[in-house]
Structure 1
Amino acid sequence: MIVQIAGNVKYPITLDPTVWIFDDRKVTYDEAFGTGEKEQDEEDELQKASMRWDREIYQQKIDPPVNRSISRFEREKILKETYLMDLKPFISTSEPASDLSGVTLETTDGDVEVTVEKMRQALALFSVEGRPLKEDGPLHLYWEDGSNKDEPIKGVKKIIFR
C-alpha cells in the first residue's frame, strides 16, 4: 500500500496513503470537483478551525500541548467520505530535476506516460467511504481540472520522473 516517487529527483520519497486519512490537507471528492456543498463545508471547516483554536489556547493556559484526539463527529465523517490528497507538496519535497522529459506511472495495468505539467496538478484518491483502496489501489490519480474525473488512472504504485 505504498507509493514511491523516484527517478530524476534529488530526494526519492516513499508515500503511505493509509495515514493520509488523518492529514488536514486532504480534501473530499465533492470539494475537489465542486458538487455544490462546498460553501457549507467551508463554513463548517471555518467554525471547526475556530473551535480547535479556542480549545488549543485554553489547553495551553492549563496544560502543555498534547495531541488532539478526533471528535466523534469527525470520526464518523472520516468513515463516510471519499478523500483525495494534492501531490504538489510531495513532488516539491522530492525536488525533481529542472530538465525533465516526462513522468512514468507504474500501475497494476502497465505503465502510463504523462507530462510533468499534468503530474504537478495531480490529486490522489486514497480513500473511498473511509476505506483505503485495496483492489485497484493504492492510488487513483485525477487532474485538478477534472478532465479525467470519469476515467482516473488507477492502481498507481510508483511515480518515476525522467
Structure 2
Amino acid sequence: MESIIPIKGKVKFPITLDSGVWIFDDRKVDLTTYFDDTDEKVDALEEYTKAVSRHWSREIQEGATYPPTLKTEKKFEKEKILNGSFAIPFAPFLKNAEPMKDATSIIIETKTGTHSLDLDQANQLLIGFSKDGKPLRDDGPIHVYYMDGSNRSQPITDVRAFCVK
C-alpha cells in the first residue's frame, strides 16, 4: 500500500503527504481524547511557549540533569506513541499547497468514490494516520475526520488523493 497522498488540482504547489513521518510531528493530536475535550483548542505557539517555560523553570530549579520524574515522563511519552491513535490537522498542508484564487472546493478521492467539501470545510479536517500505535494499512493510509467529531465513528477511509477544484 502506498502511504503517499497528493494534494493536486488548482494549487500553486502540488504537494505530497507522507503519513509515515507524522508520528514525529508536534502538531499531531491524540484521537482518543481529541473529540472528548470540551476545552477551547489552544494556539500551537502558545502551547509551545508554555512547554518551553516549564522546561526552563525545571532546569533553573533542578539543574540540567534529568531527575527520575523526567525519565518516567519520557518513558510515558514513548509508550503513548507506541500505543496511541493519532491525527494531524489538514489546514497547514492545504495552506502550503496554496489553492488558486478561483478554487472553491476540494474533492477527497477514495478507493470507492469521492467526497466534496468547500475550502472552508477542508480547513476543519483532521487526517488520522495511526490507530492503536499502528499505521492504517487495511483501509488507509489515512482516515479523514471532521474536527467537530460528527464522523468520529465513520471517518472517510481509503483516501487516495485530495483534488482542489
TM-score range, shorter chain: 0.7 to 0.9
**What corresponds to 1:141 in structure 2?**
144
Q: Does 1:25 align with 2:27?
A: yes
Q: Using the alignment, how far apart are the partners of 1:111 and 1:157 within structure 2?
A: 10
Q: Using the alignment, how far apart are the partners of 1:126 and 1:10 within structure 2?
A: 26
Deviations 1:53-76 (A, max 9, x none): 56899xxx9xxxxxxxx9332211
Instruction: Tell me the CA shift for residue 48 of structure 1.
Output: 6.4
Taking the TM superposition and a 5 Å limit, the aligned residue runs for 1:58-69 are none
Q: Using the alignment, how far apart are the partners of 2:162 and 2:59 within structure 1?
A: 38
- Partner amino acid, structure 2, of 1:97: M
Instruction: Tell me the CA shift for residue 98 of structure 1.
Output: 2.1
8 Å contact from structure 1 (residues 123, 143) kept in 2: yes
Q: Using the alignment, how far apart are the partners of 2:159 and 2:93 within structure 1?
A: 15
Q: Runs ≥4 in structure 1, deviation > 2 angstroms?
A: 35-38, 45-57, 70-73
Q: Using the alignment, how far apart are the partners of 1:141 and 1:83 within structure 2?
A: 12
Instruction: Tell me the CA shift for residue 50 of structure 1.
Output: 5.1
Over the matched positions of the two proteins, sequence identity in percent amounts to: 40
Deviations 1:26-73 (A, max 9, x none): 0001342025799xxxxxx9996556556899xxx9xxxxxxxx9332
**What corresponds to 1:123 in structure 2?**
126
Normalised TM-score (structure 2): 0.76
Taking the TM superposition and a 5 Å limit, the aligned residue runs for 1:36-115 are 52-53=55-56, 71-115=74-118
* Equivalent residues, number: 145
1:34 is matched with which residue: 33, 36, 48? 36
Instruction: Tell me the CA shift for residue 77 of structure 1.
Output: 0.9
Normalised TM-score (structure 1): 0.77
- Partner amino acid, structure 2, of 1:142: Y
The verdict on how the C-alpha distance between 1:54 and 1:102 changes in structure 2, with shifts beyond 3 A counting, is same
8 Å contact from structure 1 (residues 83, 128) kept in 2: yes
Deviations 1:62-120 (A, max 9, x none): xxxxxxxx933221110111101001111111101122232111112222222222111
- Partner amino acid, structure 1, of 2:80: K
